[in-house]
Amino acid sequence: MKIRRALACLLLAGLLPPGSRAAGPNPAAGASPIVAAAADVRFALDEIVARFQAETRKNIRISYGSSGELTRQIEQGAPFEMFLAADESYVFRLADAGRTRDRGTLYAIGRLAIFVPRGSALRADAELRDLRAALAEGRIVRFAIANPEHAPYGRAAEQVLRSQGLWEPLQPFLVLGENASQAAQFASAGPAQGGLIPWSLALAPAVSALGESALLPEAMHEPLRQRMVLLKSAGKDASAFYAYLQQPAARDILKRFGFLLPDETP
């Protein structure tokens, strides 16, 4: 179990510093477009990139992080050509500042889940009844969420906990991930008894093998409307990848990782 958890940590961390990961066969620096992407799409996007590269022979590099931090990097001149945000407000912020080609397109609606690692004193249930009971009984030492200050899934987690009257009681026990991927690492292979993480990460084999999860009702938090956009610097390869993400093959992968597709939502 310790070995499996260590492997999960490495997979979630991407074997590179937080927020950065090169996808594909070691592209030369500057030779291929860099895409900034919210951490919740890590596993789905890695699969999409691999398929895109196999079909087109075009390389794409991915830099993962929180949507807020990636937005700040773009505003400071980071050499990204495309941005996949977990909250469309960040895309609109960049568009209003004149940094994008247009206002982008909605590519997915995210969902939130409670994840509990094997052996935890906590149980995963969609209504968070056991989390409430565990707090009352002293079974919680650490509980993980992404940082609400710059991670959309962290803000959604805060909304859920506030709606259930759990935000204040959980304050002494919260451990904050810098992004959704780090929160999933803390919840599945780190110091926590569980956490609220993206459903897309809870479904990933590297995470799901380490515990159990329950999908939370959509009504518990505001919709996680995820939008992508091409930046002004985007070249032909980035434009091709942007178009590819709107094709059936990529959409099927997103759906398999638990994302709702925009045209399939009520």
- Between CA 82 and CA 80 the distance in angstroms is 6
- Assess whether 81 and 69 both reside in one domain: yes
- Assess whether 154 and 122 both reside in one domain: yes
pLDDT, greater one: 163 or 11: 163
Look at residue 26 and give its three-state secondary structure. Answer: coil
- Assess whether 216 and 120 both reside in one domain: yes
pLDDT, greater one: 32 or 5: 32
Q: Are 139 and 228 in contact (CB under 8 A)?
A: no
Stretch 17-41: mean pLDDT? 62
Residue 190: give the domain boundaries: 111-220
- Assess whether 146 and 245 both reside in one domain: no
pTM equals 0.87
CATH of the domain at 102: 3.40.190.10
228: part of which helix (H) or strand (E)? strand 224-230
pLDDT at 130 over 70: yes
Q: How confident is the model at residue 266 (pLDDT cuts 50, 70, 90)?
A: low
- Assess whether 17 and 96 both reside in one domain: yes
Of 257, 41, 74, 44, nearest to 153 by C-alpha is 41
pLDDT > 70 in the chain, percent: 88
Stretch 7-11: mean pLDDT? 46
Look at residue 100 and give its three-state secondary structure. Answer: strand
- Between CA 106 and CA 248 the distance in angstroms is 15
- Assess whether 49 and 129 both reside in one domain: no
Can you give the pLDDT at residue 265? 60
